[in-house]
Amino acid sequence: MDALAPLVDPFHRPISYLRVSVTDRCDFRCTYCMAEHMQFLPKRDLLTLEELDRLCSAFVGLGVRKLRVTGGEPLVRRNIMEFFRAMSRHLGQGLDELTLTTNGSQLARFAQELADCGVKRVNVSLDTLDPDRFAQITRWGRLPQVLEGIAAAKAAGLRVKINTVALKGFNEDELFSLLDWCAGEGHDLTFIEVMPMGDMGEEQRLDQYSALSDLRGRLQERFTLTPLAERTGGPARYVRVNDTGQKIGFITPLTHNFCESCNRVRLTCTGELFMCLGQEDRADLRAPLRASDDDGILRDAIREAITRKPKGHDFDYSRRADGGHVSGQMPRFMSHTGG
């Protein structure tokens, strides 16, 4: 086999998308993402920025065309712009897109630098436009700070996509106000079903779950929606709102399994590679990374891991496993894997 042959999983899906978590830390404590009093990893356990560079560069050499930087909150990692500047050298040299998902709290500070590094668009997590609700859902966040960051990103020429987790009994009444705000600001909008990640308490997780099929039905009552064939390498399915011209995405791991075209893997800040967000199987890439300066050993470890990529996840709120737990629930928090 060619040492640099592109990665292909057992189900003939090319692996062209890497999501890399650069930190498990965050300046928010969103209720569906992490516990209020999180035990974060000791800093000594994290890969250095140079090690993250080497790992991500190995993936680019094996055919990864899209790199999304995540966390925690990626922009709270010390000297994180050094990593973005390093990764920008791959743009046009194998890498098509360098981007990130952020809570927006640090965007006012970093938006222009990100644009200078070749970042064209960012995803910002925003579940409500109500300041009091925002403080409630994020525990530590302030809405004006995030809105200022979004405005800075727009001013820097970055395309902004808003990611909104649909939370039952929390933001259902904001569907149309979020839609109108995004239309007015020129932002795309994607709704996400809450996923069974992390030990949040069984009833709390079930109480949060809102099926996006219901939300889409409410949209169709007011607007004309045209399904789009467009895919961006992620799990979202998109529609065009004919009345406003905006694009709306739906990420539905529960009501519509999105695994058949999965082209991505997730690398944690400690060098663990998760081949599926909804499975516990993982590969340790830190050991081969540190075992040798020769990337051949690292590439072999990556290839072996991809042979274990499953066909799909097992998330299912309708099925209960032994003990009454949601079927397919993952004990690790979303922040550990990087979304």
Identify the pLDDT of residue 333: 52
Residue 195 among known ligand-binding residues = yes
Position 236 scores a pLDDT of: 81
Q: Is 125 annotated as a binding residue?
A: yes
**How many Å apart are CA 297 and CA 238, to the nearest integer?**
40
pLDDT of residue 232: 57
d(CA 31, CA 207): 12
- pLDDT at position 33: 79
Residue 117 labelled as part of a binding site: no
Beta bridge partners of 186: none
* Confidence at residue 301, expressed as pLDDT on a 0 to 100 scale: 97
Is 118 one of the annotated binding-site residues?
Answer: no
210 labeled part of a ligand binding site: no
Quick one: pLDDT at residue 308?
A: 94
Low-confidence ranges of the chain (pLDDT < 70): 1, 195-210, 231-234, 253-258, 278, 313-339
What residues contact residue 145 under an 8 Å CB cut-off, 6+ apart? 104, 105, 108
264 marked ligand binding residue: yes
Which alpha helices (H) appear in 5-118, and where do they start and end? 49-61, 80-87, 107-116
Write down the pLDDT at residue 41.
Answer: 87
Query: What's the pLDDT at 254?
Result: 57
Annotated ligand binding at 54? The verdict is no
The verdict on whether residue 68 carries a ligand-binding annotation is yes
Helix, strand, or coil (residue 282): strand
The residues spanned by each domain of the chain are 17-337
CATH class of the structural domain 17-337: alpha beta
pTM over 0.75: yes
